[in-house]
Amino acid sequence: MHEQKNSIRRTEEHWNVMTHHKPQWIDAMLYKENRGELSATDEEGDESATEPFEFFVPFLFMRPDAADEIRSIFHNFVFVKASQERLRAIVESEWNKSANMRLRYYRDRSGKNITITDEEFQQLRATFLNRQLKVFFGMPVDTIGEMAVGDRVTLLIDGWKGKQGKIERIRLKNGLVSMTVAVDILGHTKSVNFEDLHDGDVIFADHDTEQLLTGNLISNMERPIATMLGHYFRKNNADVKRRDFPRLNRYLSYANIQVDDENEQKRFVSLMLLCATMLGETALCDRYAAQLIEWLSDEKEVDNVADACMLIALFVYTRHPAYRDAAKAFRKAHSDCPSILGTFINKVRDIPTKK
């Protein structure tokens, strides 16, 4: 395998993205072409058609223990740094045209040939060779489905510092945020997705997101939701409640995050039920309430804060006093409860119940 870095007479700032199904074969042929052994000249004898070029076949440089997905996706890619005249001479050479599988341009959906900057090439090359990075490759950022979180961030990790990305997934590990961030590559035809990033690895696009995703996400949500709960049940407060809607919708947009710890998951779903109730999202309310009721049915008694949080959320949604009474009894029996539980109980203390 070869990684050609000959001096190029014409300074090229971009790498051309090409494809070929046999990485070992095209690597050998480009090496011979670059040495002048195949003489791919044009009919007018243009010297630019024979000048040196650089090329890189990533599959041949990947570590044997690289993820199968990465090896599969980049099996066919070839990167060539050359003038357009030189590249055209290679593509139209006899050896390429007579091959069963030809070296071809990689194009986007509109048919445009894809080129990338030298900076992006170096970032990709480092990613191919770095066994420490947890990455996978996927569809372009703007095609990420509705399950994605979608918040914009700027990366601070080595090799990719300053690149713009979008949070695709969030996972809570011991209450702390672990993000998967997607960054467009190869002319917005694919994305590289960095897993297990934390708040120190990114700059958030806005202050609200930074406050929410730095530290413990659930704790960061609880107190604002308790405050909005007080607004929701206060009479003659329509304007304040309307001002709460954007934040409630924002919180509810995180509903699909993965929560590892069971008790943290109970607290999180309880918060989602409260948000959905205040927004009048009936279908979501029914779904979250059913999940909480199922969890409570498996418990012999209310014995932790997560159970009490579920009771409060179910009371707000159903107005059945038994839920509120059970939460109050738990707090009374456990003086060491976190203060936020007392805050929630105080907020729902005067809410009318259903008979």
Q: How many other C-beta atoms can be found within 10 angstroms of the C-beta atom of residue 344?
A: 26
pLDDT digits (tens, 9 = 90+) for 48-86: 667 889 999 988 877 666 656 666 677 889 999 999 899
Average pLDDT on 199-209 reads: 92
pLDDT value at position 80?
96
Q: What pLDDT is recorded for position 144?
A: 63
HEC string for the chain: CCCEECCCCCCCCEEEEEECCCHHHHHHHHHHHHCCCCCCCCCCCCHHHCCCCEEECHHHHCCCCCCHHHHHHCCCEEEEECCHHHHHHHHCCHHHHCCCCCCEECECCCCCECEEEHHHHHHHHHHHHCCCCCEEEECCHHHCCCCCCCCEEEECCCCCCCCEEEEEEEEEECCEEEEEEEEEECCCCEEEEEEEECHHHEEECCHHHHHHHCCEHHHHHHHHHHHHHHHHCCCCCHHHHHHHHHHHHHHHCCCCCEECCHHHHHHHHHHHHHHHHHHCCHHHHHHHHHHHHHHHHCCCCCCCHHHHHHHHHHHHHHCCHHHHHHHHHHHHHCCCCCHHHHHHHHHHCCCCCCC
Q: Is the pLDDT of residue 130 over 80?
A: no
Average pLDDT over residues 228-246: 86
CA dist., res. 307 & res. 300, Å (int): 11
Model confidence at 109: pLDDT above 60 = yes
pLDDT band at 245 (very low <50, low <70, confident <90, very high): very high
Nearest of 64, 62, 7, 6 to residue 31 by alpha carbon: 6
pLDDT at residue 240, as a whole number: 85
Radius of gyration of the chain (CA): 29
What is the predicted pLDDT for the residue at 4? 56
5-34, pLDDT tens digit by residue? 554 444 456 899 999 999 999 999 999 999
Give percent above pLDDT 90 in the chain: 54
Check residue 9 and give its pLDDT.
46
pLDDT for 241 beyond 90 = no
User: Hey, how many other C-beta atoms are within 10 angstroms of the C-beta on 109?
Assistant: 7
pLDDT tens-digit map of 158-168:
888 899 999 98
Query: Exposed/middle/buried for 209, CB within 10 Å: 0-12, 13-18, 19+?
Result: middle
Give residue 38's pLDDT. Answer: 81
Q: What is the pTM of this model?
A: 0.78
